[in-house]
Chain A
Amino acid sequence: KAGVTQTPRYLIKTRGQQVTLSCSPISGHRSVSWYQQTPGQGLQFLFEYFSETQRNKGNFPGRFSGRQFSNSRSEMNVSTLELGDSALYLCASRPTNFGNSPLHFGNGTRLTVT
């Protein structure tokens, strides 16, 4: 069974630009979550989608948005990039949005903002 796939693996963008990251969950998983990982703040929750609906959102500005498609694939968008948005963005999936099943993470997209 294929794992969580994130594309692209690496991105370099300039301040002010926007970026879209993609995540394909494990087949059959309907919940997709996004996390930001930085050396200073560690891992922080961005948002979760289940059945194409955002179920929960972390404490991030409105420049961070996402969506989920009917095939459970998800995209995350960051507009008006800032230097502080440089991070590893991780996507995770699980079969349902109940908390008793473990999250399965992808290898992440490394975003560098210059």
Chain B
Amino acid sequence: AQSVTQLDSQVPVFEEAPVELRCNYSSSVSVYLFWYVQYPNQGLQLLLKYLSGSTLVESINGFEAEFNKSQTSFHLRKPSVHISDTAEYFCAVSPRVGNTPLVFGKGTRLSVIA
């Protein structure tokens, strides 16, 4: 079975400051890793994912996440946040083999302050 731990439930940060949202996972098998974002009053949408290859993956809006196998982490970072980044961010994991659905963490609410 897989599990995901998001260490921070809320992260307030000033506009244009950097941010890191932490995610650690637990699994006995190899996994794929995902970050989903939920903007206010909207459904969850995929932000970025790690499948294979380079351990650093990027989104189109400036976020990046790095897969660290030894630390079983997939932290999300952005060097300079905008007000529009205010949302809830969910880390998720699925096994590479089999059909087990995505397992999500509890989420981190990012609040960007002007």
A, B assembled together: no
Binding site for A on B (CB under 8 A): none
Interface set of A (CB-CB < 8 Å, partner B):
none
